[in-house]
Structure 1
Amino acid sequence: MVNRYRAARKGLVHNYTNRLTAFEHTPKPDSSSAQNLLIFIGGLFDGLQTVPYTDIISNALPETWSLAQVHLSSSYTGFGTSSLLRDATELAKCVTYFRTIKTGKIILMGHSTGCQDVMEYLTGPGHKKHPAIDGGIIQAPASDREAIVMTMDPSQYLHSVAVATKMVEDGGVEEIVPRVEINGVMPAPVCARRWLSLASPYHDGDDDYFSSDLKDEQLMKTFGALPKGSPICVIFSGEDEYIPKTVDKQGQIKRWAEVAKNGEGRVDEESSGVVDGASHNLAGNPEAVVNDLVKRVLLFLYSLSKDARGLEALLN
């Protein structure tokens, strides 16, 4: 089982830009050989060490890799007044910084809304100006809109959208939506702009990357726009509590992979898949379930580095 109370971690704190940091795990005796980097991005409410499997992935990485958890302005409860665009801009600064001290590959790995950040970095507005990365991993790519609809009473949901829309129309784009209007779904301040980005029923929210009802022409602007040199790995949690049970997760992966093929990008279908029995962030899940996630991450990393020996050892 994943331990809720984890031991202290050794590492390096990097100030990659003003007032923002990244914590690089250094659990191995000689970390100087770790020139390849996995940059981990949490979801809504996440911050340093809030996603329980990061230590396990870090411990499993070969000596040539290390994991760094990035702190963004949207971390913890800051997401409600931030945006994916701001996240991507800060991630670009983080990648730029690490490119000055790492000589190997850099991969972005997102959990939950961190998945949207990976897609925003690779395909969102201004993405061509971002420093290139060697690939991306998205774990638990849930739709915030579908999760909110699952949680809220339908009439309350539509009312909250109407309230936020009126606030925007009246010039209160960055004003905080009264908590009573969103029924306590987000126990953190959320401005009208971000609420509509997360919850808009019109499929036009900036955060709406993974909803199961998106049309192919919408997906062509995201998965179909993935850059040629940055393949992605998609890992769903089989028992994700924020994804409707009606969603065919394996079908989603296949659909996204086909859309990517119609562009220049690629979804790595060998490492991608559904982790059976996994909850959204794998908290409290059995060791075998967590190991399935870790194996998929390593499989993707080994395939990118063309480490045949490491790949063979992993598969055996």
Structure 2
Amino acid sequence: MDNLRAAFPGEARRGVSHQYTSRLFAFEHTPQTPLTPPQNLVIFVGGLFDGLHTVPYTSIVADALPPTWTIAQAIISSSYTGWGTCSLQKDVKELSRCVAYFRKIKSGKIVLMGHSTGCQDVLEYLTGEGRESRAPIDGGIIQAAVSDREALGISHDAETLAESCVVAQRMVDDGDEDEMMSSTDIDGAFPCPVSAKRWLSLVSPNHDGDDDMFSSDLTDKQLMKTFGSLPASTPLCILLSGDDEFFSSNLGMDQKAILERWVGIVERGEGVVDVENSGVVEGATHNLLHNPEEVVEGLVRRVVGFLSGLLPQANL
């Protein structure tokens, strides 16, 4: 216990807890220099196993935002260890309720920002089935969008992963898609229960899983269903981490090339990407933990730049 205390000394953050359903909430950071209550909002969604304050740069973004903006971290059913028993459709249904809640108390812009697997939620929100019925947002930011299938290929034996998919597919075929796989079957890949359906959603050898949006081997036709289906009214900012530990260097293309491909797909589908503020954040690791100040500032500068572009200069 003493070692844990030494490793993390603790941090206090001022904010407001918003209960947007009977069991879910969002934590809105209090602005550093509030003049009037900010009416523009970034709703932040973390990645695998993330929850409140687990992505270190959110507090830094909160402190750097223009005075008319604030950031709220959304807690959904898939937060912390809930990912393996949920789905993208459940995520966006809950996030829509979160957006709808804030629409009642905020009069300005609302942007959805995803980190890591939270990036899937942003694209699913904007392009997935039922998107027309979801509460509207004014922009999307995806940060550290990497392929979980390819990332698992870095840390796990290919044969073991293939065998896990055989087990999962058998469970699905037997009508047990919502049953949990054993930790042995998935080689202890995640510290949480994972259903057969969710496992295949991420690592299906057919490359057709719902969560498989960012793999380098996806076809243009597949990417057109996500990046190529973005509404022209909702601009996107794409931020990749230059030293992302979950990005494989054996993919045949670097992150800059992947970014350029995604931007091209968005433009082919007549969507809008903020090309000026999108980019590869040089020196950044996956969630920027312990990164040098100048690296974190590089990310923050791009986020603030994107948000500033959504408003007339006089309203920042």
| Range into which the TM-score falls when normalised by the shorter chain | over 0.9
- 1:228-267 matches, within 5 Å, as 228-246=232-250, 247-267=253-273
Matches within 5 A, 1:119-134: 119-134=123-138
- Call closer, same or farther: CA 1:113–1:174 in 2, change over 3 Å: same
Alpha-carbon distance, 1:125 to partner? 1.1
* Partner residue of 1:285 out of 291, 301, 305: 291
Q: State the Cα distance separating 1:272 from its structure 2 match.
A: 0.5
The SS at the match of 2:170 is: helix
The correspondence for 2:22, drawn from 7, 18, 21, is 18
Q: 2:282 is matched with which residue? A: 276
- The 1:97/1:309 distance shift into structure 2, 3 A limit, reads closer
d(CA) in 2 for partners of 1:276 and 1:258?
21
Residue 183 (1) aligns with residue 203 (2): no
Of residues 59, 66, 82 in structure 2, which corresponds to 1:55?
59
The aligned residue for residue 302 of structure 2 is 296
What stretches of structure 1 of length at least 5 have no aligned partner? Answer: 311-316
Contact 2:68 2:315 in 1 (8 A): no
Distance 1:69 1:28 in 2: 17
Structure 2 residue 87 is the aligned partner of structure 1 residue 68:
no
After superposition, give the CA deviation of every residue in 1:207-253 in whole Å (9 maximum; x if it has no partner). Answer: 01111111111111111100111110000000111111134211111
Matching of residue 160 in structure 1 with residue 164 in structure 2: yes
User: Whole-Å Cα distance in 2 between the matches of residues 225 and 237 of structure 1?
Assistant: 24
Check 1:6–1:140 CA distance in 2 against 1; reply closer, same or farther (3 A cut).
Answer: farther
Secondary structure of 2:28's partner? Answer: strand
> For this pair of structures, how many residues does the alignment match?
308
SS in 2 for 1:109: strand
What's the C-alpha RMSD, in Å, of the aligned pairs? 1.5
2:218 matches 1:214: yes
- Of the three residues 133, 138, 144, the one matched with 1:140 is 144
Inter-CA distance 252–5: structure 2 relative to 1 (3 Å threshold): farther
* Distance in structure 2 (CA, Å) of the matches to 1:18 and 1:309: 34
Shift of 1:29: 4.5
* Residue identity (%): 56
Alpha carbons 1:174, 1:192 under 8 Å: kept: yes
Structure 2 residue matching 1:108: 3-state secondary structure: strand
149 and 169 in structure 1: CA distance in 2 versus 1, 3 angstrom threshold: same
Mapped to 2, the partners of 1:62 and 1:226 lie a distance apart of 27
Residue equivalent to 1:116 = 120
Residues 154-163 or 256-265, more deviating: 256-265
- What are the ranges of 5 or more consecutive residues in structure 2 without an aligned counterpart? 1-6
Residue number in structure 2 paired with 1:313: none
The CA distance in 2 between the partners of 1:104 and 1:5, in whole Å, is 36
d(CA) in 2 for partners of 1:233, 1:188: 31
Offset of residue 31 of structure 1 = 6.2
